[in-house]
């Protein structure tokens, strides 16, 4: 867990953002649904990799795929979903990233499907 502390005019403040890391399909699906995001990949790829979410942006390269196919590839590639739910001022945040599970040992060690960390 990382919390950066800023000193301004003798006052100490922290800008904290909650960063979530999950392998739970229901959590990923719910996050995408709240934002109107659809599972996608690059047009023409035989395997749906890399995985993307399309937020209703016209992009000729992205091809929408089914949720079943999305999660099959998510598991095959041994991915974790890293995301923020809200910005520091409380607005809905669509920042996210797919990473290899090995890159987040905290998740593996915890034995849980979702963990949360505070970052700036």
pLDDT value for 69: 93
pLDDT in tens, 65-80: 999 999 999 999 999 9
Looking at residue 31, its pLDDT comes to 96
Which of 101, 86, 102, 64 minimizes the C-alpha distance to 19? Answer: 86
Closest CA to 43 of 70, 58, 67, 62: 62
pTM over 0.85: no
Neighbours of 29 (CB within 10 A): 15
């Amino acid at each position: 867990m990382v919390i950066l502390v800023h000193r301004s005019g003798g006052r100490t403040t922290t800008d904290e953002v909650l960063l979530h890391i999950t392998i739970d399909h229901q959590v990923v699906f719910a996050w995408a649904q709240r934002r109107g995001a659809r599972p996608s990949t690059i047009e023409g790829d035989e395997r749906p990799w890399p995985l993307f979410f399309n937020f209703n942006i016209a992009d000729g390269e992205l091809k929408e795929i089914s949720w079943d196919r999305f999660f099959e590839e998510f598991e095959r590639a041994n991915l974790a979903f890293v995301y923020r739910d809200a910005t520091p001022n409380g607005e809905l945040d669509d920042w996210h990233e797919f990473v290899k599970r090995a890159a987040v040992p905290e998740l593996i060690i915890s034995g849980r499907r979702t963990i949360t960390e505070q970052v700036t």
